[in-house]
Amino acid sequence: MRYLLTSAAVLIIVCLFAFTNEIRMEITHTYTVDSLGACQGISYQGGCVFLYGDREVGMIREYKEDGDSLVYLQKEIRLTLNDTDVINHPTGIAWHAKEPVFIGNSIRLNKEGTLWRAMIYCVDWQGLQRTGTLDGNLLNTIEDDACIQGTRPEYVQYNKKWYVATADYGDKANEVRLYDPAALKKAHKTSEKGVLYKKFTCTPWVQNLHWLADKGQLLLIQNQIEGRRWRFTYVDLDKSIASGKQEVIKVIDLDRLDELEGFSFLNGYNKGIAVSSSRKNNVNTMRINW
């Protein structure tokens, strides 16, 4: 009997330890990065950090890590074509190895924010970095008419194949959708046959997506209410696709009042950067414990 009680006690301790070691996120350093306009997101690509925003034109700037801060590398991309602002409100960069690169653009059509037009642009990413504009580097323009409100492309892997995932921002009927990148690259609209592969419902106010490849998890970068407060929702992608609705692993709410726009893990899953649309204190280094 004494042995059984000891085993039970050990089991309880193990369970409590597992519970208390769920995902935890905390801000360790907050600072201001200027010249972005309202920062709309972050893309981490093999050691390179790209922040994008909606200054006088849509733009992307490149940085490198320096401790808990970022250093601007004096490299800027203006998302213009023939000096005309094209991707004026960039909302996501889908980049993965040799796959086509897509940039999202969510356009508000009325001041109430009830009408939106979502566009996805297939670009020559290397050419864009080399010349600094869309001139000669815009490969295709796709209307994301399969969306409900806005678009925010991010590569994810499902059944050993890569897809472009995107999500809605509104307060009802929100979805995460997976598009076939080869079909998307040639399409004029995402409603065309063969573009949409899978989808599932999700909670409101998704500002961006981030894929955790080694964990099979999709991170929904969200607001708790429209345009305010921070929320991170980790979902199991395979289970979500199978059930048709988000299958939540963990929801983390942080007590920040501004508008969370984007987040990316850096080298590994213990450090990341979150960005907001605020003019000050818009970049935040974060520590993540698992």
For residue 52, being part of any structural domain is answered with: yes
- Number of domains present in the structure of the chain: 1
For residue 9, being part of any structural domain is answered with: no
Question: Using CA atoms, how far apart are residues 41 and 106, in angstroms rounded to an integer?
Answer: 13
The C-alpha angle with vertex 196 and arms to 99 and 125, in degrees rounded to 5, equals 25
Domain limits for position 232: 26-289
| Complete DSSP assignment for 12-48 | HHHHHHHHHTS-EEEEEEEE---SSSSEEEEEEETTE
- Radius of gyration in angstroms for the set of CA atoms belonging to the chain, rounded to a whole number: 20
For residue 14, being part of any structural domain is answered with: no
| Complete DSSP assignment for 59-90 | EEEEEEEETTEEEEEEEEEE-EETTEE-SSSE
* Tokens describing residue 6: 């000891």
Q: What is the pLDDT along the chain (290 residues), one digit of tens a residue?
A: 443 445 545 444 444 444 444 899 999 999 999 999 999 999 999 899 999 999 999 999 999 999 989 999 999 999 999 999 999 999 999 999 999 999 999 887 777 666 778 999 999 999 999 999 999 999 999 999 999 888 999 999 999 999 999 999 988 899 999 999 999 999 999 999 999 999 999 999 999 999 999 999 999 999 999 999 999 999 999 999 999 999 999 999 999 999 999 999 998 999 999 999 999 999 999 999 99
For residue 4, being part of any structural domain is answered with: no
pLDDT attached to residue 108: 74
82 by Cβ neighbours in 10 Å (0-12 / 13-18 / 19+) ranks as: exposed
For residue 2, being part of any structural domain is answered with: no
pLDDT attached to residue 93: 98
For residue 277, being part of any structural domain is answered with: yes
277-281-282-285 Cα dihedral, nearest 10 degrees: -150
For residue 221, being part of any structural domain is answered with: yes
pLDDT attached to residue 6: 52
Whether pTM exceeds 0.75: yes
Q: Are 250 and 4 in contact (CB under 8 A)?
A: no
* Domain at 32, CATH number: 2.120.10.30
For residue 18, being part of any structural domain is answered with: no
